[in-house]
Amino acid sequence: MNKIHPTAIVAPEAELGDHNEIGPHCVVGPEVTMGNGNVLRSHLLIEGKAILGNENQCFQFSSLGTEPQDLKYHQEDTLLEVGDNNVFRENVSVHRGTANGGGKTLIGNHNLFMGYVHVAHDCHIGNYNILANYTGLSGHVVLDNYVTLGGQNGVIQFVRIGSYCYFGAGTMVDKHIAPYTTGYGNRITIKSVNVVGLQRRGFSREAINAIRDAHRMLYRSGMNTEEAVQAIEYKYGQIEEVRVFTEFIKDVKHDVKK
């Protein structure tokens, strides 16, 4: 059974699962599909074609599934899809996709979006990411998994950030960032490897040492990107964690050093 406050407006066409809580003055549009156990605190808007999974927490004054801020958008049938166990704190905004960008904004599981975070159209966000207060993602951004973006980070359009990256506050990200990387600054300066984060996630000492050496070979050795990748694969190709690093570099098809 769902618990819906008398002041909430839930369209009759909306599809709701079970054990959802919809608080005061929330608005749920007719194209919304919601799973089980979600909590909408108060004064929250979910509209457009939006799919919300299970046990998400949505705090007051947030908006999910609203129209993208893209002048090329002309009311096409696009989507926001959200997984399970995400937390959207106060005043978070997440826009649905655009026809030119694949039509979907996708959010995985167990992500934390702190106050005033903005996720633009066609972003793809994986699992266990933390976006601190006032961070903004432009359109078509990809975050892999276990990424931490500090307060007031900005990410330009079409950028991909690899897993286990950690960026300090006030960082502007204007290029693809390989996994395991730390950095900060406007524009971002690559610093080192997120050793503390890797230790917390149970990476072995062998894997961390190999990642650190691979990172040094890419960013500090003086080799160009192609040469560095070949050297890394020759030395550490048998280590899965390092293969994630080199495959990312090849997949993005852009020089991550520029």
Range of the domain at 9: 3-193
The per-residue pLDDT for range 38-48, each reduced to its tens digit, is: 999 999 999 99
In terms of domains, do 54 and 164 share one?
yes
Mean pLDDT of 14-29: 98
pTM assigned to the model: 0.96
Q: Looking at the structure, do residues 38 and 152 belong to the same domain, yes or no?
A: yes
**Which tens digits make up the pLDDT trace of 232-252?**
999 999 999 999 999 999 999
CATH of residue 17's domain is: 2.160.10.10
Q: State yes or no: is 70 an active-site residue.
A: no
Residues 123 and 204 in one domain: no
**Whether 157 and 205 share a structural domain:** no
- Identify whether residues 64 and 171 lie together within a single domain: yes
The share of the chain scoring above pLDDT 70, in percent, equals 100
Interval 94-147: pLDDT, tens: 999 999 999 999 999 999 999 999 999 999 999 999 999 999 999 999 999 999
Catalytic residue check, 121? yes
Nearest partner of 232 among 223, 222, 242, 244, judged by Cα: 242
Task: Mark whether 139 is an active-site residue.
Answer: yes
What are the φ/ψ torsions at residue 49 (nearest 5 degrees)? -80, 105
Say if 138 falls within a structural domain: yes
CATH number of the domain where residue 201 is located: 1.20.1180.10
- Mean pLDDT across the chain: 97
Q: Please indicate, yes or no, whether residues 106 and 213 belong to a single structural domain of this protein.
A: no
Whether residues 95 and 171 fall in one domain: yes
| Crossing angle between the packed helical segments 240-252 and 225-236, to the nearest 10 degrees | 160
Find the catalytic residue in 48, 108, 118, 122: 122
pLDDT score of 257: 80
- Predicted local distance difference test score (pLDDT) of residue 136: 98
pLDDT of residue 254 exceeding 90: no
pLDDT for res 232: 97
Q: Are residues 86 and 48 in the same domain?
A: yes
- Determine, yes or no, domain membership for 257: no
Q: Tell me, yes or no, whether 209 lies in a domain.
A: yes
pLDDT (0 to 100) of residue 255: 82
Domain count, the chain: 2
Of the residues 101, 126, 139, 162, which is catalytic?
139
| Final residue of a structural domain among 142, 168, 193 | 193
Domain boundary among 178, 193, 208: 193
Residues 68-105, buried b or exposed e (16+ Cβ, 10 A)?
bebeebeeeebbbbbbbbbbbbbbbbbbbbbbebebbb
pLDDT score recorded for residue 133:
98
Per-residue pLDDT, 253: 78
Q: Is the pLDDT score of 193 beyond 90?
A: yes
pLDDT interval class at 258 (50, 70, 90): confident
Residues 141 and 20 placed together within one structural domain of the fold:
yes
